[in-house]
A and B are shown apart, each in its own frame.
Chain A
Amino acid sequence: MLLAQPARAIPPFARQTGLACEACHTLPPELTPFGRRFKLSGYTLTTRPPLVNDIDDYKRNTLWLTDLPGIAVLAQLNYSHYNRAPPDTGQPYPAHAQSDTFQFPDQFSLAYAGAVSDKVGAWMQLTYNGQAGSVGIDNIDIRYSDHTYDNKWLWGITANNYLTFQDVWNGIGSYTIPNFNTVSLATGGVAGAGTTGPILNALGPGVVAGIGAYVFWNDSLYFEVTAYHSAVAGGSSPVVDSVSLAANGGAVDRFAPYARIAYERDWGYHSAEIGGSALYVNWIPSVGYISKQQQLAANEAAIAAGTPGTPPYTPSQTFNPGVINRYTDLSVDWQYQYNGQHNIFGFLGHVTHERQQNSNQLVAATFTGASSPVYSNPTDTLTQAVVTGEYFYNRRYGGLVSLTRTRGTWDPLLNGGNGSPANQYETFELDYVPWLNFRLILQYDVYQVVANNQSPFNLSNATFPNSPGFTNIRAGDNNTWVLGLWMDY
């Protein structure tokens, strides 16, 4: 499951509030303490008087429209260059793919962002994805929020389609820093590649939708509970169709509960947060599983129809709702932010541990199907740590260094090759921001460890039967330069 990164900042919020980007962002998408409170308040803060207003007989507002809707245009372009051109898997070596790519655009979005009423706000985004070549529903977050008279308690409800999109800190989730949507291995820019991560990061637009409630107490303690259900884009409703499941690699069965707690303390120019989250997902994998009963029934039906030997089930289409993997993700995240008059720096990140209990119907030792097992182990674990340091001067020049480390149990059937899901890479980024809504990015991703099935080079060289001459493959072949442009209006 490879997702587009969410848009980073929304000029309609600036138009609505009259505040420049820096009120809410150190640099987009990272939020300042003010930006966090704006989001938690349901995007409702406004200084624009209504153009159209209506009240009922009880003086309750029934309509509140400003002169202009909060529409934004957002674009990301980039040019990526890989350290080595991967071989063309369809042609004999030395045929190879190009070593660079222009994404023009990488993403192009239209979004509504802003207040819907005095207590309801929304962020709704439609995105053209350059890699997919199609337009689709992107991030949606609709909020209701209110607070007590003394501001001691703030509470709200969020309905969103991207697990962690509602979060207001940047150490974890959809707005983890670094956030620029590079076309590199780390973001799945090469077909079939993409570094392994927890399912926490994978439940996005077109996969899930959820409703949750949150409270923010005493301007410091945050608690949220949200439940997500499958919301497969382009599929039938309710979700039963194997084809729609295949599009996302699976679907959430019933509801996936997600709980989040965080404590923030602000003092002087400093803001610090420590938090944790827990996610439990019953996941229906799209694995082409055919039960023996299904095969038997299919064969009987075929015989009855007079066409023995041509059962209507094929591994690529068949789906058994009884096959469920269970994921438990536990995370700790932190964020320190110095938001000074000229200097901004931050230190943030997270550690996530995932336990994946595979359906015994799919595990080699207990496999009950008619085709092939999918997992080597009944239980797989994955631990990922991301640590990022960043510095910006006057919101104009800056950069960051980010380290990602992923380790887990070796599962050859799941991960291919020797079964390791490990990856280890660093991201170095330089930023030049001549205008707050126009940012140039130079990024270099350096890979020390890349697992077999995550690399376009396939480190075991097992899937290049046409390329025997393609040798000396190493993780560093995946290193990527990216020149990016992000802008919005």
Chain B
Amino acid sequence: MSKSVTHLAMAAAVALACTVFGTAWAAEISIPPDPGARDAHTLVSFACSKCHGPHANGISISPLFPILAGQNSIYIQEQLKLLRQHSRADPHARAFMWGISHALTDQQIVGLAQYFSSQPAVSGRPSTNPELAAKGKEIYENGVPEPHRVIKCIECHGENSAGTNTVPRLAGQHAGYMALQLHYYRDGLRENKLMNRNVKNITDDQIAAVIEYIGTLSGETSPNDTSPPASPDDSSN
């Protein structure tokens, strides 16, 4: 009996669905459910938006997930390819992005990168802890000298942290996300030859300070920003 009730319920649900939402269904008949055939906006709406911004704007709510709005297109493409081939292997990459990116085509990756990079970016805000931000500014612009050497961030990420091509924009990014990534880089959980070396000696206090400062940056491209000599991102694998 329960079986027949189940069938009845299922049939009724589907019948009702087709009746009520027939128009919406019909409007999307040109989009097959094959993930490989979805366009960028459909992908964002269907999948990415669940973590990277509920309104498909690339602005995530939880700092567990990065803000992608206004991020550099080339950087997003590189990351998606690294995630797809499991080369970027930090814990969150494994948990969230390895699976979700594995079936993306190169064309979809370009589409997604263009989609998110064209969304209005988030700018920094004045710090509520100017003293800490000042310490961070010092690290950001001049690094930390030997023997606990930390390379200055400004060299690659630019004066306002807009990034360039393969270097990510940091301005407006969630502080919690950046802090986690710096821990990953420092502890070798996220592999990247340049970043692993650059922040090898950074302390938790210095991470807090530099992130406080980055949080104040506008993300506007500065005339002094230039592409770094080599791709600084996850290319070690």
Contact residues of A with B, CB < 8 Å?
Answer: 14, 17-20, 22-23, 33-34, 37-38, 45-50, 53, 55, 58-61, 64, 117-120, 124, 137, 140, 142-144, 146-147, 149-152, 155, 157-159, 161, 205-206, 209-211, 219, 231-237, 266-269, 339-341
Q: List 27 A-B contacts (CB under 8 A).
A: A14-B99, A34-B51, A45-B47, A45-B50, A47-B100, A48-B35, A49-B35, A58-B29, A59-B32, A60-B29, A118-B33, A124-B6, A142-B10, A144-B13, A146-B24, A147-B45, A152-B55, A159-B13, A209-B9, A211-B13, A232-B1, A234-B2, A237-B1, A237-B4, A269-B64, A269-B176, A339-B64
CB distance from A33 to the nearest CB of B (A): 7
| Chain B residue total in the interface (Cβ 8 A) | 49
User: In the bound complex, what is the Cα–Cα distance between A14 and B96 (angstroms)?
Assistant: 10
4 smallest beta-carbon distances between A and B, as pairs: A18-B99, A118-B33, A20-B95, A144-B17
Question: Which residues of A have CB within 8 Å of B61?
Answer: 33, 266-268
**Number of contacts between A and B (CB, 8 Å)?**
151
Beyond A143-B13, A231-B1, A339-B62, list 9 extra A-B contacts (CB 8 Å): A18-B101, A45-B46, A47-B101, A53-B34, A117-B33, A120-B17, A209-B6, A269-B62, A269-B64
CB-based contact B99/A34 at 8 Å: no
CB-based contact B6/A120 at 8 Å: no
User: In the bound complex, what is the Cα–Cα distance between A407 and B35 (angstroms)?
Assistant: 53
Question: Which residues of A have CB within 8 Å of B2?
Answer: 137, 161, 205-206, 231, 233-234
Question: Which residues of A have CB within 8 Å of B103?
Answer: 47-49
**Contact A120/B62 with A49-B35, A219-B54, A233-B1 known, Cβ cut-off 8 Å:** no
User: In the bound complex, what is the Cα–Cα distance between A205 and B1 (angstroms)?
Assistant: 12
With CB as the reference atom, state the residue of chain B lying closest to A145: B17
With CB as the reference atom, state the residue of chain A lying closest to B26: A60
With CB as the reference atom, state the residue of chain B lying closest to A42: B17
With CB as the reference atom, state the residue of chain A lying closest to B175: A268
CB-based contact B99/A47 at 8 Å: yes
Q: Is B129 part of the contact surface with A, judged by Cβ < 8 Å? A: no
CB distance from A328 to the nearest CB of B (A): 25
User: In the bound complex, what is the Cα–Cα distance between A19 and B10 (angstroms)?
Assistant: 28
Q: Is B188 part of the contact surface with A, judged by Cβ < 8 Å? A: no
User: In the bound complex, what is the Cα–Cα distance between A19 and B101 (angstroms)?
Assistant: 10
CB-based contact B62/A33 at 8 Å: yes
Question: Which residues of A have CB within 8 Å of B180?
Answer: 341
Question: Which residues of A have CB within 8 Å of B32?
Answer: 53, 55, 59, 61, 118
**A-facing mask of B51-82, CB < 8 A → 1, else 0?**
10011100001111000000000000000000
